[in-house]
Structure 1
Amino acid sequence: MITCSVSEQLRITEIFYSLQGETSRVGLPTVFVRLTGCPLRCSYCDTAYAFSGGQNMTVAEILTAVARHHTRYVTVTGGEPLAQKNSLLLLSALCDAGYEVSLETSGALDVSSVDVRVMKVLDIKTPASGEVKKNLWSNLTALHAHDEIKFVLCNESDYIWAKQVLRERDLVDKCTVLFSPAQDQLSPTVLADWILRDSLPVRLQVQLHKLLWGNQQGK
């Protein structure tokens, strides 16, 4: 049993149970722990409701909430989870409790201290996101084979830019790379055609949860 002091709290927007809609774990029943707050303002953000509000919870309280759902998979997301220093403690505590844990992070904050057992899903911001200057490229050296890199693409210019980054930084030699179309901005079919035309060694990611439930929060 983990005993947490008052200082070991996090600001939580929501904890919910759903199907994983992204990454190589797509379709798996997963508990999502959404932390409050984010230093970025991406043009396509679909979780602006997590920028503020929420409630303080200790790591022990979060573990209790997660345990109510009988699944082995937990995703810590945001907002930007790493904006809260105690997120590192939470990630390790979840791993210690036996869960297979993934972290969804913007790629703007240092990931080198994240527990190696965690699958890091690192978002590389494209020009159309409006936050391309926030990419912390040194994060690429902290990735392992089980981690994943995600590009959210808004248009063909983003695609061309991502192809260049893919090649120049040898990303496919590091881990799985995901290309995801921004909702209502780039057709998944068009992106699929580009990937096939160029024989890119990337995985097309279509957000399963939005196909099933639209933009409903807590899904």
Structure 2
Amino acid sequence: MIRRASAIVLLPLVLAACGGGADNQSVAALDNEITANTADPALMGALQDQIMVDPQLAGQANKDAIRPASQPYSAPVPSETVAAAKAAMPKEGELLKAPAPSGKCEACDVQDRAITLGSLAAQQKDKRTAGCAAKLNYSAGWAARLPAGMPLHPQARVTEAAGAQDAQCALRVVSFSTPQPLQTMIDWYYTRAVKAGFSAEHQAKDGQHVLGGTRGRDGSAYVVMLSARADGGTDLDLVANGGN
């Protein structure tokens, strides 16, 4: 009985060893056939070349590995004060100094009452601007289509934008912020307005500042509303209507 049991146990082991030997011989024969094929230089080059690895990307690969990657899978968003700040910072003497604020700031009261960009435009003193407010369509793309002479600041981070464009209207309304301080932004838009041929009146009330004016040659009008941010930057609302 013991001998019969031993034979039964050993038989599968012998068969497995024989089967493994056949498989090993087949794999070895196939390997010899591939490596012996020296007639194809492209094949041999592909087999012998080293694998190229980018060490900066290697840490991001294999998200299912036990050890996590040593860095985020995507590059971090650069700070708004890096690179762009250097491009937007004015050179010495480049900006004109805006006059001190004077008179009542009716536009400040308008900004306080306005809930939407449409209502902000509808309450403007310029009749063409107010008349075009009902035609506004909301889309961030309008921020890139401001009238000539009243551009978006290079460091602007747009929050909301709207516009209307037809035979009577070329209205743009944009809410945005910049990392530049309040006085710098007042001087920046004052300089742009004057150089583009606009008038530029400066008013202020309770920390809110407003620059506004018109251009006689084509009837264009603008209003820029500015207030300081807690982080040292500036929040702005820009209403601009292109001329004829």
TM-score of the aligned structures, taking structure 2 as reference length: 0.24
With a CA cutoff of 8 Å and minimum separation of 6, indicate the structure with the bigger relative contact order: 1
Question: Which of the pair has more CA radius of gyration?
Answer: 2
Higher helix proportion: 2
TM-score of the aligned structures, taking structure 1 as reference length: 0.27
